Structure 1
């Protein structure tokens, strides 16, 4: 369910103020449509963008957050999306490749890479 923009900004702002009061950063996650005004109003420090390469949404995040984006691509979409993301943005933002189940390194299906 998507909340109205003013509701999101108000709720995000409340959470951000609490985080900032404890010297913590606060993130916006997986909502590519956030505007600069909404980001400023809420006080988000950075964005986590899951599968933005797969869904062609990465520019929506980087245009608002600049270098303050963590992109996560998952193994069940294949390694190509991660490789493309690294080629396009790996020198500007953090790009991570993970298994969707977030397995431990000792698990045989553990996947992790970063660029």
Structure 2
């Protein structure tokens, strides 16, 4: 499942790129000159980005025919891409799907008593990001889904629960999360896919170092923090609201700049009695 709406907290990058980004360039006289810092809005990789301020639909709870005017859609990695649209592939990368923790074996996070650490809101086991070995194995498993996304014709990937460290009882750190997302970014970019930062606005300033191309922000209208994303992603921000008030606030401030949609909290497919979809 997707991260709990409104819950937010304030692939290995090649060594040559890391060195190049931090090293000093030698001038013609042999003196060292500081390399220019990249703009916080500069594109991270040469991959196709979602068209900004485009009609968007969030279909991770079940695929259906996109409404008229939709140009960008996000669907679960098990679903086919929508023909003729920009498709974002949803993968649950930092937690196990409900009831699927056995599939992850020793990659499930456990506390000092050996109990599985759960996300209580979605009944999902957190994954253990604390060692390079485990992060690599998690990335390999999620990487098979990313490869699947590319094979189905998706243009981007959306790894969910980037902020799971905030629910880890202090066992995981923000650095653990960033170390994993770098592996996923490398995998996505290697397949020609863009990769989005899901929520976790307090890490937006590190988007370039983490290899993230755009943002998917749940309830930033409700929480009045969309600017925490636009500061670093400019208009490459997709906003998902789950309340009338959140949609109203997001539209009042960002209607002319960002992709904004309101969905029901379970993101049910069209035709379900709980289905809700509104735009500005």
Please confirm whether the aligned pair reaches a TM-score higher than 0.5, indicating the same fold.
Answer: yes
**TM-score interval (norm. to shorter):** 0.7 to 0.9
From 60, 65, 70, the equivalent of 2:233 is 65
Match of 1:91 among 252, 256, 261: 256
Q: What is the CA RMSD across the aligned residues, in angstroms?
A: 1.5
1:56-103 superposed Cα distances (whole Å, 9 cap, x missing partner): 2211111111111111000xx3x1220221121011010110001111
Partner of 2:209: 41
Aligned to 1:22: 191
Which is greater in Rg?
2
Which residues of structure 2 form unaligned runs of 5+? Answer: 1-164, 167-171
- 1-structure distance, mates of 2:232, 2:177: 16
TM score, norm. by length of structure 2: 0.38
Relative to 1, partners in 2 of residues 1:104 and 1:35: Cα closer, same or farther, differing over 3 Å?
closer
Provide the rounded CA distance (Å) in 2 between the counterparts of 1:81 and 1:35: 21
- Provide structure 1 residue ranges, at least 5 long, that are not aligned to the other structure: none
Residue 107 (1) aligns with residue 272 (2): yes
C-alpha contact 1:104 1:110 (8 A) present in aligned 2: yes
Structure-2 separation of matches of 1:35 and 1:89:
18
Contact 2:197 2:216 in 1 (8 A): yes
SS at match of 2:201: coil
Alpha-carbon distance, 1:30 to partner? 1.3
CA contact (8 A) 1:94 1:114 kept: no
- 1:16-55 residue CA offsets vs partner (Å, 9 max, x unmatched): 010011111111111010143x211111011111011112
Greater fraction of residues in helix: 1
Query: 3-state SS of the aligned residue for 2:241?
Result: strand
TM-score (norm 1): 0.86
Instruction: Please name the residue that 1:31 is paired with.
Output: 200
Compare relative contact order (CA 8 Å, sep 6+) and give the higher one, 1 or 2.
2
